[in-house]
Chains A and B, each alone.
Chain A
């Protein structure tokens, strides 16, 4: 292209150096060098933003992503690491009219894939009639034999699919790959949208860009509509924390208001899939599966799976649950299928594919092998059965002539050749200038009761270099928002129901037993961390006063540290950091139930503690550092206390907190209020118990064993006292499901009442060290009872 022509009048400064590659179509500039109308207004806006302001705006988008905890998990030789979400801030703009043609073609393809799926798990005519080679299916690890002849409830195998598409050299779209197993990226598309609108907030509002919320509302309504009855639930099934898209699972569960479950949360009872909740087994009839099918049922699928639910396939056989998408739909992702779909489309639909897929030759057939050997320079070769992203595992054909023919003849059944991809380019902002970078697009389709509906937008991948293969995010590619631009103003949709519908307060969600367990332990670990920090502060303050010589008082605290697994000689002890780490990992298991602010507070504290651990020395330095950490921790507790919805989840968190605090206070008093404890131990107990001021006000005398025991063990008004914790436990337990069993208090309720009554009847003088230890032991037993009743 003549560079002079590519200098559009609209945004001279910005596009001055923008040079599309010869022979490669560009999203912004057409072949004649003119800016496409859909981009015009946006580029004018962009050009008017001063450079430093633009960086500031990009920073706003990035800040949003960091605040949301959006990150990219990258896999390397040394395991996986998390890095900042690589957002390319310039969105990809597509005209509404072009988008409609494109999505109509993708809807045709979705219908075709549904037909193929129905055949592969039913009559198998595509194979017996010669449209598909049998080895491609029989040798396919995603064609799941136990699912053959299992008809999905409702009749459809596919409810939510995605297509990876790109624009070919002729400017037309083509399909690069089909995503039917458990397409990811819709949640990231939503996050890219929010971050991009933060960047261009003033422009976006009036830019006629189709909103995404309507699609997600349709998604939620469709899932709810698939329920067998209103009593059953919709849930999202995730492989868990270690999967690269877990963030998206938790985010979308929160956004749509669905439970986020792992395989162990589910069980099958009488052919019905049930969630193990704190209220007992409850039916789940719709499961949005983000777990690969082979792992879903260790009994009938991969027996090595630790992520699945034994009996899942039998529940499907009984038609009691809808999986989105059906188990086995991964077979449609097989790369070699692309070679056969054009012909299958004509056979099954009686029409050609409206959007072609990338030219593909399965090398198991002689005619196809001849094609490949004739034009090796235009081809890449990859495994026929690959389900991976396009470009991820393709290699250029480096053999020629006889060597190539021999290779293909020997291993052809396992290979496909594909036309080497060229992708259109779109602007990326690199080093202060817009430069053309290759782009591919993921488009999402949802089957609603009224037919397929496309998300008006998508997930764009932008290459870091001009090489089309570099769009893969694992290879440094970036993500970008996709704007579908209408010539007319668009409807501003939200997730809220239309105003005309009568308001109905939804029932609070159900609490899976595993989530309750994690919340209980989160409460315990956070409280334990606080207890350790308070002990550390008191010790280090005394060290600062007494110098390095360990006084009897300091030595008296040693058993308390030992019980918590902490070496107090370290400034910021590793034992404290690992307890905090345990809090963070339990919090990570319930991220869908938890505010982003709370999560950020914990993560921030962890970061600070680790940094401090490198330099902080015992004594005054440590006392200050620990105080700073205590303030951060109270920030987290405040967020939870002020913001968390007071329902079942909160109750388990509170139970954990009360439980831990009661236990550690009993231990503290048994150690420091023991008659044999050294001088000053009572003051120390009051200080660690954060009750110095209260003690002064209540008793106006120096500490004595009676006053300390009264204030820290028996006083129901002191939020640090054991009694206060037992009041709290009693209140919360009474509100748990099944607290009363046929008019009688449950075993757990009775045990709580017993301890509570006992403590309430104690006097400071009867509250001996032995009595404290006995109370501590009884409270410890509550944890087991609670687990038996609710947490399995």
Chain B
């Protein structure tokens, strides 16, 4: 599947902003056998005083910009043409949950996709007893790790209510879990906390999801949103398996990956504070346009 993606994030300030420095993780990466970026570009308005691109530890593309201040508006606009495949099918077999610890121990190395980075609590996803208990219960009947991941994701999808008003980007997993409400970020963070709690290394994936308008309605421009889901390490043979708890499915060629990390902090699209004395408003518009149409339906 070939996609044209456009993301526009705009900040408006009541008073001119002070100088600031930000990290932008808005451009997709090539992923072997899964995703290929044909072209991509990031426009920043006003033109930054400094701009440099690098790869972070997890291999994500990061653009660092420094703005000198005095502007009343900042806009980041990322465009990309990405080819995405469905990848390999979800493996039919995987180790049982109790056997995973030995599989992890057999893995040596510190490179980014080693499971060791994803086992422990991370800055934004701490260990939560209630979530671990919930996860253990949901995973118990599963015959192997992959089916455990799926059961947990399905349980969350069943028990949670999608509610954009219930949480913000800073809401801790435990808060969203207690109220059983939230958006894709909350679903993903709760699931990661739970999987880690029961011994499954898990990470956070940010990206886009292709949405299809209701039958007979035109696709509204900018109506899509950024999305987040979960990657879980299911043993040496199966490796990383990605699951989207918001939509109760393993990822497909309808998902496009932007960045991967331990939690939202590692992948946040715009990091760093731009100081301003007044209020600021931000808005986000996302277009994910499939160049070869193929229907599907899902919620972000």
Give residues in A with beta carbon < 8 Å to B: 120, 124, 127-130, 134-135, 137-139, 145-146, 148, 267-271, 298-300, 302-303, 310-311, 314, 317
B180 at the interface (CB under 8 A from A): no
Assembly CA distance A120 to B111 (angstroms): 11
Task: Using CB atoms, name the residue of chain A closest to B272.
Answer: A299
Taking a contact as CB atoms closer than 8 A, the residue among A130, A139, A148, A311 that contacts B66 in the complex is A311
Whether B52 contacts A134 by the Cβ 8 Å rule is no
- Mind listing 19 A-B residue pairs with CB under 8 Å? A120-B110, A124-B109, A127-B108, A128-B109, A134-B107, A134-B110, A137-B110, A137-B116, A146-B57, A268-B21, A268-B66, A271-B52, A299-B22, A299-B272, A303-B265, A303-B271, A310-B21, A310-B272, A314-B52
Question: What are the residues of chain A within 8 A of B111 when measuring CB–CB?
Answer: 124
Question: What are the residues of chain A within 8 A of B117 when measuring CB–CB?
Answer: 138, 145
Whether A135 contacts B21 by the Cβ 8 Å rule is no
Assembly CA distance A145 to B122 (angstroms): 12
B120 at the interface (CB under 8 A from A): yes
Assembly CA distance A311 to B52 (angstroms): 11
How far is the CB of A276 from the nearest CB of chain B, in Å? Answer: 11
B119 at the interface (CB under 8 A from A): yes
Whether A314 contacts B109 by the Cβ 8 Å rule is no
Assembly CA distance A146 to B62 (angstroms): 12
For the complex of A and B, the 9 pairs showing the least CB-CB separation, nearest first, are: A138-B116, A145-B57, A124-B110, A134-B116, A128-B109, A139-B120, A310-B21, A128-B108, A138-B117
Question: What are the residues of chain B within 8 A of A148 when measuring CB–CB?
Answer: 57, 110
Task: Using CB atoms, name the residue of chain A closest to B64.
Answer: A314
Whether B54 contacts A139 by the Cβ 8 Å rule is no
B40 at the interface (CB under 8 A from A): no
How far is the CB of A318 from the nearest CB of chain B, in Å? Answer: 8
Whether A311 contacts B107 by the Cβ 8 Å rule is no
Whether A134 contacts B114 by the Cβ 8 Å rule is yes
Question: What are the residues of chain B within 8 A of A127 when measuring CB–CB?
Answer: 108-110
Assembly CA distance A437 to B119 (angstroms): 45
B228 at the interface (CB under 8 A from A): no
Whether A138 contacts B265 by the Cβ 8 Å rule is no
Task: Using CB atoms, name the residue of chain B closest to A311.
Answer: B21
How far is the CB of A643 from the nearest CB of chain B, in Å? Answer: 38
Assembly CA distance A569 to B221 (angstroms): 71
Assembly CA distance A464 to B134 (angstroms): 51
B293 at the interface (CB under 8 A from A): no
Question: What are the residues of chain A within 8 A of B52 when measuring CB–CB?
Answer: 271, 314
Task: Using CB atoms, name the residue of chain B closest to A297.
Answer: B21
Task: Using CB atoms, name the residue of chain A closest to B20.
Answer: A310
Whether B119 contacts A128 by the Cβ 8 Å rule is no
How many Cβ-Cβ contacts under 8 Å join chain A to chain B? 68
Taking a contact as CB atoms closer than 8 A, the residue among A134, A145, A310, A317 that contacts B108 in the complex is A134
How far is the CB of B185 from the nearest CB of chain A, in Å? Answer: 17
Assembly CA distance A148 to B55 (angstroms): 11
B33 at the interface (CB under 8 A from A): no
Task: Using CB atoms, name the residue of chain B closest to A147.
Answer: B57
B159 at the interface (CB under 8 A from A): no
Assembly CA distance A362 to B290 (angstroms): 53
Assembly CA distance A648 to B109 (angstroms): 54
Whether A146 contacts B56 by the Cβ 8 Å rule is yes
Question: What are the residues of chain B within 8 A of A139 when measuring CB–CB?
Answer: 116, 119-120
In addition to A129-B108, A139-B116, A148-B110, 17 A-B residue pairs with Cβ atoms within 8 Å of each other are A124-B109, A128-B110, A134-B108, A134-B116, A135-B120, A137-B116, A138-B117, A139-B119, A139-B120, A145-B58, A270-B50, A271-B50, A298-B272, A300-B23, A303-B271, A310-B21, A311-B66
Assembly CA distance A300 to B266 (angstroms): 9
Whether B116 contacts A299 by the Cβ 8 Å rule is no
Question: What are the residues of chain B within 8 A of A128 when measuring CB–CB?
Answer: 108-110
Whether B114 contacts A299 by the Cβ 8 Å rule is no
Question: Known: A268-B21, A299-B272, A303-B271. Contact between A130 and B108, CB under 8 A?
Answer: yes
Assembly CA distance A776 to B253 (angstroms): 71
Whether A138 contacts B23 by the Cβ 8 Å rule is no
Question: What are the residues of chain B within 8 A of A310 when measuring CB–CB?
Answer: 20-21, 272
Question: What are the residues of chain B within 8 A of A271 when measuring CB–CB?
Answer: 50, 52
Assembly CA distance A135 to B115 (angstroms): 10
Assembly CA distance A405 to B120 (angstroms): 23
Taking a contact as CB atoms closer than 8 A, the residue among B107, B120, B271 that contacts A299 in the complex is B271
Assembly CA distance A377 to B52 (angstroms): 57
Question: What are the residues of chain B within 8 A of A311 when measuring CB–CB?
Answer: 21, 64, 66
Question: What are the residues of chain A within 8 A of B19 when measuring CB–CB?
Answer: 267
Assembly CA distance A267 to B119 (angstroms): 35
Q: Which of B54, B108, B109 is packed against the most chain A CB atoms within 10 Å? A: B108
Task: Using CB atoms, name the residue of chain A closest to B268.
Answer: A303
How far is the CB of B150 from the nearest CB of chain A, in Å? Answer: 26
Assembly CA distance A268 to B52 (angstroms): 13
Question: What are the residues of chain A within 8 A of B58 when measuring CB–CB?
Answer: 145
Assembly CA distance A269 to B120 (angstroms): 36
Question: What are the residues of chain A within 8 A of B271 when measuring CB–CB?
Answer: 299, 303
Assembly CA distance A503 to B253 (angstroms): 73
Q: Which of B99-133 contact A (CB under 8 A)?
A: 107-111, 114, 116-117, 119-120, 123
Task: Using CB atoms, name the residue of chain A closest to B54.
Answer: A317
Question: What are the residues of chain B within 8 A of A270 when measuring CB–CB?
Answer: 50
Assembly CA distance A358 to B107 (angstroms): 29
How far is the CB of B133 from the nearest CB of chain A, in Å? Answer: 17
Question: What are the residues of chain A within 8 A of B110 when measuring CB–CB?
Answer: 120, 124, 127-128, 134, 137-138, 148
Assembly CA distance A749 to B147 (angstroms): 75
Assembly CA distance A127 to B105 (angstroms): 12
Question: What are the residues of chain B within 8 A of A134 when measuring CB–CB?
Answer: 107-110, 114, 116
How far is the CB of A363 from the nearest CB of chain B, in Å? Answer: 14
How far is the CB of B55 from the nearest CB of chain A, in Å? Answer: 9
Question: What are the residues of chain A within 8 A of B109 when measuring CB–CB?
Answer: 124, 127-128, 134
How far is the CB of B68 from the nearest CB of chain A, in Å? Answer: 10
Assembly CA distance A601 to B22 (angstroms): 46
Whether A135 contacts B57 by the Cβ 8 Å rule is no
Whether A299 contacts B23 by the Cβ 8 Å rule is yes
Question: What are the residues of chain A within 8 A of B119 when measuring CB–CB?
Answer: 135, 138-139
How far is the CB of B287 from the nearest CB of chain A, in Å? Answer: 29
How far is the CB of B244 from the nearest CB of chain A, in Å? Answer: 26
Question: What are the residues of chain A within 8 A of B54 when measuring CB–CB?
Answer: 317
Assembly CA distance A270 to B68 (angstroms): 12
Assembly CA distance A531 to B246 (angstroms): 67
Task: Using CB atoms, name the residue of chain B closest to A121.
Answer: B110
Assembly CA distance A148 to B57 (angstroms): 7
Task: Using CB atoms, name the residue of chain B closest to A314.
Answer: B64
Question: What are the residues of chain B within 8 A of A314 when measuring CB–CB?
Answer: 52, 64
Q: Which of B66, B110, B271 is packed against the most chain A CB atoms within 10 Å? A: B110
Assembly CA distance A139 to B271 (angstroms): 23
Assembly CA distance A631 to B180 (angstroms): 68
